[in-house]
Amino acid sequence: MARFVLTTKLLAAVSGALMLALVAPGASAADAMPGMAKATRQELGASAVFAPDGSLLVVTKQGEHVMLYRSSDDGKSWSAPTAVNAQPEQISADGENRPKVAFAADGGLLVSWTRPLGKPYSGAIRLARADDGQRFSPPLTVHKDPAEITHRFESLLTTPDNKVILAWIDKRDLEAAKSGKKAYRGAAIYAAVSTDGGRSFQPEHKLADHSCECCRVTSAIDADGAPLFMWRHVFEPNERDHALARLKPDGTVESVQRATFDRWKVDGCPHHGPSLAVDERGVRHAVWFNQKDGAGRGFYGRLAAGSGISVEGQRQVGGPRAAHADMAVAPGKLAIAWKEFDGERTQLRGLMSADGGDSFSEIALAATDGASDQARVVRRQDQLFVFWRTEKEGFRLFPLP
Amino acid sequence: MMRRFLPVVLLVAAGSLAAAEFTPLDRAEAQRLLSADKHRQPTVVTLWSSDCGYCKANLKLLSSLTRNNRKLRVITVAAEPENAHLWPMLSRYGLAGPHYAYGSDSPEAIAYAIDPNWGGELPRTFLFDGTGRKERISGVLTAPAIEKATGLRF
């Protein structure tokens, strides 16, 4: 035991020194190849979006900065990164919680992230905007609530009328219940709306009580333009299925409906959030993870609108270890990507549908030996791609057929 | 006088060693740790993370059960790499350990070695009765469930 203690202390010292060596000359650390393996486990959480000019933008974390990378050749080479936040601060970039990137309707480039505060589980939702896509204004906190509690796992949605809506997991109601010695199931979802492309935000409001505590939130725009947010919810007594909120044009809640019906009863944290996309015919497609009949599985289904949502065409995504699926749509096609450990390596796989999700063909995309981020499906006009960051290979982009 | 201060000194020393309280877990060690034939006494291997509030409820319960029955062995596994949050969270439960945290091996390979049927939800607990039986429970534990799986009485 004593020998072990010495070894880990030594390791800690060595890795600390290596980190210093890597981080100290700020510019050169920032210029390092994205995703190169470091001495200590790196937080790999990254998000990607195509710019109007067709270049690919990626945001991820380097120390206490969100860094923006750009590729004009579909991921073959990357520009020197730009720091989104000039002033250093803590940034979450682990599995379910990562910086997000999107364009406002007026062309402004938006980057959001969760800034962990001092206390465990605490965070503030931050947003920075670059009018010219290059130089970012200082980040602002999108909520008025200054409490050092959970405001985390934000989802960033932009609408054609230049609104920017962020929704996140918020524990203010849980904390209030605790102070009053009352029980409160899960956490809550709050949202803040900007009508000026993300330059300022109206006071936040609650979308729903009783969300799950630490699964990513997803968003999309409904057939008629209404903003949609979907998250893992805690239905009574402890069923961790999903809920879908439809918002009015002003961002307030129109409806919150149960969206999945797998009835996973657990007092625990699945760490596994959903993904939602609405196709050009207005059909809502979702992927999610649930335990059903005792087995944890990835699922795909269409969320048919009505007085209550009914799930159509529910099917399993991948094998028994399929994890963290993401999805996107382009005209005439739908793609799902996920990762799946095969006993030796982590496989990246995809499902493609050309008939609105009635039938799919499965494709193998890549594999890695080391740690990897969740994959994301990204769209450029009529084409879909899978973006994947791995510890060993860095940023990778796979065009889908 | 010295005797009165000794525990304080020890506590301070333990605090300064906090960064070395966790054994890094790789896939081979994970497989050994979760093999029923490696546990000759009633043992609970409990997976937790700094992000998981429900895990704290389990750690608290296990801590009180070990005080009631010293035959129960509790091994903790943080399903994340060692970081500054972990030890302050875990140390308050006074569990003897050993305590593991994910090492530099691929997290998915470690998870697979722990249990190929585990979807990553926490808390996840493995209970061994010490004679080759193994049970898996996701979510918050209860004393009766632990009694049933370990064969101990608390």
Q: Tens digit of pLDDT for each residue in B1-55? A: 444 444 444 444 444 444 568 999 999 999 999 999 999 999 999 999 998 999 9
Q: How confident is the model at residue A40 (pLDDT cuts 50, 70, 90)?
A: low
Q: Which residue of A has its CA nearest to B108?
A: A341
- A191 or A121, greater pLDDT: A191
Interface residues from chain A to B (CB-CB < 8 Å): 4-5, 8-9, 12, 40-41, 94, 120-121, 213-214, 266-272, 289, 291, 295-296, 320-321, 323, 339, 341, 343-344, 346, 369-372
| 8 Å CB contact between A188 and A211 | yes
Nearest to A268 among B106, B107, B121 (CB): B121
Q: Which of A12, A120, A271 is opposite residue B121, by nearest beta carbon?
A: A271
A8's torsion region: left (phi>0), alpha (psi -120 to 50) or beta? alpha
| DSSP 8-state symbol, A132 | T
Q: Using a CB–CB cutoff of 8 Å, tell me whether B16 touches chain A.
A: no
Between helix B143-150 and helix B53-68 the angle, nearest 10°, is 60
pLDDT bin (cut points 50, 70, 90) of residue A2 is: very low
Could you tell me which residues come within 8 angstroms of residue A305 by beta carbon, excluding any fewer than 6 positions away? A284
- Contact call for residues A161 and A105 (beta carbons, < 8 A): yes
Q: How far is CA A328 from CA A12, A40, A374, A381, B56, in A?
A: 41, 33, 14, 12, 37
With a pLDDT cut of 90, the percent of chain A lying above it is 86
At B127-153, the pLDDT tens digits run: 999 999 999 999 999 999 999 999 999
pLDDT at B21: 87
**To which residue do tokens 């193994």 refer?**
B134
> What size, in residues, is chain B?
154
Tens of pLDDT, residues A242-259: 999 999 988 999 999 999
- Does A170 have pLDDT greater than 80? yes
The partner residue sitting opposite B20, judged by closest CB among A8, A213, A320, is A8
Angstrom distance (rounded) from CA A134 to CA A140: 17
At residue B20, the pLDDT reads: 66
The percentage of chain B sitting over the pLDDT mark of 90, rounded to a whole number, equals 81
Residues in B touching A369 (Cβ below 8 Å)? 106
Query: What is the pTM assigned to this prediction?
Result: 0.89
Q: Which residue of A has its CA nearest to B88?
A: A120
Q: Which residues of A touch B22 (CB under 8 A)?
A: 8
How far apart are the C-alpha atoms of A137 and A103, rounded to whole Å?
15
DSSP symbol at B131: S
A:B CB pairs within 8 Å: 94
Q: Do A320 and B89 touch (CB under 8 A)?
A: no
- Asked if B39 and B128 count as a contact pair (C-beta separation under 8 A), the reply is yes
Indicate the residue type of A329: V
Cross-chain Cβ contact B117/A270 below 8 Å: no
Query: Mutate which of A1, A3, A7, A8 to disrupt the B interface (most B C-beta within 10 Å)?
Result: A8
The token duo for A121 is 């589980």
Is A388 buried (19+), middle (13-18) or exposed (0-12) by CB count in 10 A? buried
For residue A190, the Cα-to-chain-centroid distance in whole angstroms is: 16
Amino acid A230: pLDDT: 98
